[in-house]
Amino acid sequence: MNLQRVFFAFFVLLAMSLNYGFFVGDMDNPAHHSVYELFGAVVINLIATVLKFGERSHIGSLLLASSLVADVGLLGAAAVMGYATHVAGNPAAWTPLEVSLAGGALSANIVSVTLMVIEASTIRR
């Protein structure tokens, strides 16, 4: 067992699960989409991205790319939420956009986890 790998897999999976946790629920019901969960998803996604820095392998670059896509989606959702609350003033109307952005990020996170599993399965024992 390699502690570094546990660490890495933990953050990649946690990023996906938090992202899913925020995404799941009615599209237009703000009560189903907690801002705390989005915050967690953003932070964990950023950490997962940084952990992927500097991988030279082909799969490593795909992992980094998928993580960057997830970051774009989640930071977009967070920015929309901040704008809706403080500038536009009607947070409920913007919820579907936030959720769909998070959904896009989720798809990138799923790719990321799949790639990680593929990479793990290619290692010969």
Contact 16, 109 (CB under 8 A): yes
Site for another protein in 38-97 (CB under 8 A): 39, 43, 46-47, 50-51, 53-56, 58, 78, 81-82, 85-86
Q: How far is Cα 72 from Cα 14, in angstroms, rounded to an integer?
A: 17
**Beta carbon nearer to another protein, 27 or 37:** 37
Provide the minimum distance between the beta carbon of 125 and another protein in the complex, in angstroms, as a whole number: 26
Which residues have C-beta within 8 Å of that of residue 122, sequence separation ≥ 6? Answer: none
**Beta carbon nearer to another protein, 54 or 125:** 54
In terms of Cα–Cα distance, which of 37, 34, 45 is closest to 67?
45
Structure tokens given for 109? 């996170």
Where do contacts with another protein occur on this chain (CB under 8 A)?
35, 39, 43, 46-47, 50-51, 53-56, 58, 78, 81-82, 85-86
